[in-house]
A and B are shown apart, each in its own frame.
Chain A
Amino acid sequence: MDETLFDFLLRMGDSTLILGHRISEWCGHAPVLEEDIALANTALDLIGQTQMWLGLAGEIEGKGRSADDLAFLRDAWDFRNALLVELPNGDFGRTILRQFLFDAWHKPMLKALAGSDNERVAEIAAKAVKEVDYHLERSANTVVALGDGTDESHRRMQDALDALWPYAGELRTIAGPDGVIPDGVADAHSAMMREVLSEATLKIPEGEFAHKGGVSGQMHTEHLGHLLTTMQWLQRAYPGATW
Chain B
Amino acid sequence: MSSVNPGALPDGADAPRARNEWPLWEIFIRGQHGMSHRHVGSLHAPDAKTAIQNARDVYTRRNEGVSIWVVEASRITASAPSDKGPMFEPSESKIYRHPTFFDIPDDVGAM
**A interface residue numbers (CB < 8 A to B):** 32-34, 37-38, 41, 134, 137-138, 141, 145
A41–B57 touching, CB < 8 Å: yes
Q: Once the chains are docked, how many angstroms separate the CA of A145 from the CA of B53?
A: 14
Contact in complex: B49, A37 (CB < 8 Å)? no
With A32-B44, A33-B43, A34-B45 known to touch, is A141 a contact of B57 (CB < 8 Å)?
no
Please measure, in the bound complex, the distance between the C-alpha atom of A141 and the C-alpha atom of B50, giving whole angstroms: 8
Residues of A close to B57: CB separation below 8 A: 34, 37-38, 41
B49 touches which of A34, A38, A141 (Cβ 8 Å): A141
Contacts of B40 in A (CB 8 A): none
A34 CB, nearest partner CB in chain B, Å: 4
14 sample A-B contacts, Cβ–Cβ < 8 Å, listed by A number: A33-B43, A33-B44, A34-B57, A34-B58, A37-B57, A37-B61, A38-B53, A38-B54, A41-B61, A134-B56, A137-B53, A138-B53, A141-B50, A145-B50
B46 within 8 A of A: yes
Report the minimal beta-carbon distance from A71 to chain B, rounded to whole angstroms. Answer: 23
Alpha-carbon gap, A134 to B61, bound state (A): 13
The digit string for B52-66, where 1 denotes a CB below 8 A from any CB of A, is: 011011100100000
Main SS class of interface, A: helix
Shortest Cβ gap from A65 to chain B (Å): 31
In whole angstroms, how far apart are the Cα atoms of A201 and B47 in the complex?
19
Within 8 A of A (CB), among B18-58: 22, 43-46, 49-50, 53-54, 56-58
Chain A nearest CB from B77 CB (Å) reads: 25
Q: Closest A-chain residue to B50, C-beta based?
A: A141
Query: What distance in Å separates the Cβ of B29 from its nearest Cβ neighbour in chain A?
Result: 15
Return A130 CB to nearest CB of chain B, in Å. 13
In this complex, what residue of A is CB-closest to B54? A34
With A33-B43, A34-B43 as contacts: A141 and B53 at CB distance below 8 Å: yes
Task: Give the Cβ gap from A199 to chain B, nearest Cβ, in Å.
Answer: 14
User: Considering the complex of A and B, which 5 residue pairs feature the smallest CB-CB distances, nearest first?
Assistant: A34-B54, A38-B57, A37-B57, A41-B57, A37-B58
Q: Which residue of B lies closest to A149 (CB)?
A: B46
A145 interface neighbour in B46, B54, B58, Cβ under 8 Å: B46
CB contacts (< 8 Å) of A34 on chain B: these are 43-45, 54, 57-58
- A137 cross-chain contacts in B, Cβ below 8 A: 53
Minimum CB–CB distance from A93 to chain B (whole Å) comes to: 15
A138 to B45, CA, bound (A): 13
In the complex, A141→B49 CA distance in Å?
A: 9
CB distance from A171 to the nearest CB of B (A): 24
User: Which A residues are CB-close (under 8 A) to B61?
Assistant: 37, 41
Other contacts beyond A34-B57, A141-B53: 19, CB < 8 A: A32-B22, A32-B44, A33-B43, A33-B44, A34-B43, A34-B44, A34-B54, A34-B58, A37-B61, A38-B53, A38-B54, A38-B57, A41-B57, A41-B61, A134-B56, A137-B53, A138-B53, A141-B50, A145-B46
